[in-house]
Homo-oligomer: A and B are copies of this chain.
């Protein structure tokens, strides 16, 4: 039912836009590489006789079937991070394209429209925030405001860039009538591969809290300052790094310190200042809050004990998202019917589907990522895994449009 070869060769064809010498791609949102990828997708959608609609945020839609009934949206994004891989995004867009083409080839006539969507700027590397196209689609950001956002690399505004690449549409984002949204995506983590499971039926998306702490201690001589007289911001940072892991275990969430900058950064001096950022995630909002509160209580205690002060800045507060139980069950059921192993799981990363859940019941289909790698030129999913994801979407969609 799915032409796996066509599907994978299209993903490979897309990978030429922004291709890096050592593999992988850099295809930032609204760049000339993004334009090239969009143009090819547009050509493919037109060849499939989908009605192509571009909205004011540059979100691309390919609509199959004309009807006033609410439709089923499927898709993902074509932009990438800097030095990213070929699969994060394109698997969802091209997988959706393949599913529509296969349904058509198999003579299926949809009772509801099917809307293929390529969302603008999911990655948020060239323009902040990320998931911007789907956010605008869900009315979470005003288009006029979004247009003024400037690129982090060359300072051009979104509107300028949309005009420049020819994707400034007239349609107001989110006006198309949608009943459900389903997205195939690579897991970007190691669970499916390590547990040898074909499909993840994503039932929820973790909440994400990013908090920056600036610790103010005192730089003093590492040889002459007794331990009891130190105000070592670096020591506090070390304790925080260890504690976040301990609390993540306790609360069954995840917690990470990826940024920790010691200053003055001298071998023989304690740290005067540290900038440290805590990344705390949990699928349950209450537990996420408790995890953060516990961590903050620890920071207060350990800084006080060491005679260090701190300022705290909330960088990100994304609450957890619960996807549609009905669609998740359908994904599980169809996987099983296809002879594929499937597990309900939580997405650790953010996705357009979390914005779409604000609009309509949504869910995601995860496929394995080799070594759990993503945002990396070595990101990889096998042709078979991609085919599996598309097969499941095919069956789910077939049921939903009937």
**Which residues does A use to contact B, with CB under 8 Å?**
187-191, 194, 206, 208, 210, 219-227, 229, 232, 234-235, 237-242, 245, 248-249, 254, 256-262, 264-271, 277, 279, 281, 315, 347-350, 372-376
Contacts and interface: CB of A to CB of B under 8 A. Distances in A.
B279 A229 contact: no
Given A210-B268, A227-B248, 17 more contacts: A189-B224, A194-B229, A210-B267, A221-B375, A222-B254, A224-B372, A227-B245, A234-B260, A235-B241, A235-B257, A238-B238, A238-B242, A256-B270, A258-B262, A258-B264, A258-B267, A258-B271
Nearest to A191: B226
Nearest to A229: B190
Contacts of A254: 222-223, 225-227
B257 A234 contact: yes
Copies of this subunit: 2
Nearest to A376: B219
A260 B260 contact: yes
A280 to B, nearest CB: 9
Nearest to A242: B238
Given A258-B271, A266-B259, A372-B221, A234 B241 contact: yes
A224 to B, nearest CB: 3
Nearest to A256: B222
A225 B239 CA distance: 22
B279 A222 contact: yes
Contact of A238 (B219, B221, B239, B261): B239
A92 to B, nearest CB: 16
A260 B264 CA distance: 11
Contact of A226 (B190, B229, B259, B271): B190
Nearest to A265: B259
A221 B348 contact: yes
B270 A265 contact: no
